[in-house]
Amino acid sequence: MRISVIGCGYLGAVHASAMAELGHDVVGIDVDERKIADLSAARPPFFEPGLPEILRSATDSGRLRFSTDIADAADADVHFIAVGTPQAHGRDAADLTFVDAAFEALIPHLREGSLVVGKSTVPVGTAARLADRLAEAAPHASLAWNPEFLREGYAVKDTIEPDRLVYGVADERAAFVLDDVYRTAITAGTPRVVTDYATSELVKVAANAFLATKISFINAMAEIAEVTGADVTQLADALGHDARIGRRFLNAGVGFGGGCLPKDIRAFTARAEELGLAESVAFLREVDAINLRRRQRVVDLAHELLGGTVNRRRIAVLGVTFKPESDDVRDSPALDVAVQLKGLGAHVVATDPEGIENARLRHPQLDYVDDTTEALRGAELVVLVTEWREYRNLDPAATAALVDAPVLIDGRNVLDAAAWRAAGWRYHGLGRP
């Protein structure tokens, strides 16, 4: 099929490449000239495992090309909208400016039978509004909503082998067209839910709200564990043996961040408030508050462990991205902790395998080093806040030899506390004795 993907960020660049990998003829469109130049040269503009390979093979085969000119989307039968929906400045609501602009720019290029497919995460009601606009401006085209559930770090696999497909459609034909797009996954047995616009939009925000709630639930238990001497990691293991609960997404620590979970729960709350349903999702405010308290907890612990002040103390911060296997620093708990410590006068030396460039753009005031050894050397406190494999694999004795004082906050509860203590470290997990 001929496909256009409008918006080539973390979602769209992977979607465009994966669709081409599946055999479709794809054009990726973005307003960012640098991004398009990079993608056209098969250089991924961000770190995502597996993307370099499929981007290269698809561009080499001629099935994938990129452009800044939306007119180049005109030949496509299916147009995916994958532009950003960030948190609006100074408000909780989603900023739909990019979705609206992309949609309007596309309208003149729609032909008889064109299908516009929304992929961006939007507040419930957006698709119906856009469908009304389409009926007025391009009645020969139609709209579907097809939310995306990929995780950064696994984006290529999640796109090619999704765990489910959700189609929000107004007519059967749109579902048939989407079946053609996703033929490979459907043939492999991927479950598909065909529904209305509102349900499809809600599935997406409900999924992220549920994941965020699960993380904040275990972090609330960590708060209780901290006061009672219990161990939240053992608690999570025990809870997880109950198949109804499950162990995944019960890792207590510095909490969730990224370009999606935090802004999606806030946008959901704002939308519910607009609909007069504030009470229905009032708990999401609590989920957000618990999450932000965990960052503060790490900063407070740093104070405590350094004898009451972080001022002028050298702190090694391991990790700046919101999670491993990504270079994304949007709303990163790790970076937030580093910035707060710096604001309190600490000499923060931050390191990360992939995120330094993005972190430096946002927070140039921090000292960044590429090399973990260099970050650790002379540290009076080590704070592990993103659980990259190389930090999980650090040797406690060798690390102790580098630092000035063997004091550690394991902000992701990933290190073997007993082994670190045996090597002479004052080890502090979150929610662990």
Ligand X SMILES: O=C(O)[C@H]1O[C@H](OP(=O)(O)OP(=O)(O)OC[C@H]2O[C@@H](n3ccc(=O)[nH]c3=O)[C@H](O)[C@@H]2O)[C@H](O)[C@@H](O)[C@@H]1O
Residues at the interface with ligand NAI (CB under 6 A): 6-12, 29-32, 35, 82-85, 98, 101-102, 105, 120-121, 148, 150, 152, 259-260
- Under rule CB under 6 A, residue 253 binds ligand X: yes
Q: Which is nearer to ligand NAI, 155 or 315 (CB)?
A: 155
CB of 121 to ligand X, least distance (A): 6
Determine which one of 16, 260, 366, 376 is catalytic.
260
Nearest to 337 by CA among 352, 348, 353, 325: 348
* Residue whose CB is nearest to ligand NAI in the complex, by number: 9
Compute, in degrees rounded to 10, the torsion defined by CA atoms 8, 205, 2, 68: -20
Contacts of 259 (CB under 8 A, 6+ apart): 10, 84, 86, 322, 328, 330, 331
Which of left, alpha, beta for 173 (phi over 0: left; psi -120 to 50: alpha)?
alpha
The one among 208, 216, 269, 372 contacting ligand X by CB under 6 A? 208
The first and second tokens of residue 61, run together, are 């085969």
- Under rule CB under 6 A, residue 221 binds ligand X: no
**Per-residue CA distances from 411 to 58, 167, 309, 408 (Å):** 39, 38, 19, 9
CB of 47 to ligand X, least distance (A): 13
CB of 396 to ligand NAI, least distance (A): 34
The one among 65, 151, 157, 192 contacting ligand X by CB under 6 A? 151
Of ligand NAI, ligand X, none, which one does residue 168 interact with (CB within 5 to 8 Å by kind)? none
- Orientation of helix 283-305 relative to helix 197-228, angle to 10°: 40
The first and second tokens of residue 388, run together, are 């990259």
The alpha carbon dihedral of 180, 184, 187, 193 has a sign of negative
Round to whole Å and give the CA distance between 260 and 214: 15
Query: Pairing state of beta strands 192-195 and 142-145?
Result: unpaired
* Residue whose CB is nearest to ligand X in the complex, by number: 260
Element housing 367 (H / E): strand 367-368
For 52, what's the count of Cα atoms within 13 Å in the CB-facing half-sphere? Answer: 4
Of ligand NAI, ligand X, none, which one does residue 256 interact with (CB within 5 to 8 Å by kind)? ligand X
Q: Which is nearer to ligand NAI, 32 or 77 (CB)?
A: 32
Q: Which is nearer to ligand X, 38 or 387 (CB)?
A: 387
Fill in the per-residue mask, 318 to 357: x = in contact with ligand X (CB under 6 A), - = not in contact.
----xx----------------------------------
The alpha carbon dihedral of 418, 419, 423, 428 has a sign of negative
Task: Please give the size of the binding site for ligand X, defined by CB under 6 A.
Answer: 21
Told to judge if 260 belongs to the known catalytic residues of this protein, a careful annotator would answer: yes
Tracing tokens 């992977």 back to the chain, one arrives at: 14
Could you tell me which stretch among 59-67, 75-83, 177-185, 246-254 binds ligand X (CB under 6 A)? 246-254
Of ligand X, ligand NAI, none, which one does residue 101 interact with (CB within 5 to 8 Å by kind)? ligand NAI
Round to whole Å and give the CA distance between 6 and 79: 7
CA 221 to chain centre: 24
- Under rule CB under 6 A, residue 250 binds ligand X: yes
Tracing tokens 């099929």 back to the chain, one arrives at: 1
Of ligand NAI, ligand X, none, which one does residue 283 interact with (CB within 5 to 8 Å by kind)? none
Q: Which is nearer to ligand NAI, 6 or 202 (CB)?
A: 6
Q: Which is nearer to ligand NAI, 80 or 427 (CB)?
A: 80
CB of 87 to ligand X, least distance (A): 13
CB of 210 to ligand X, least distance (A): 10
CB of 161 to ligand X, least distance (A): 14
Residues that bind ligand X (CB under 6 A): 121, 148-152, 208, 211, 215, 249-251, 253, 255-258, 260-261, 322-323
Q: Active-site positions?
A: 260
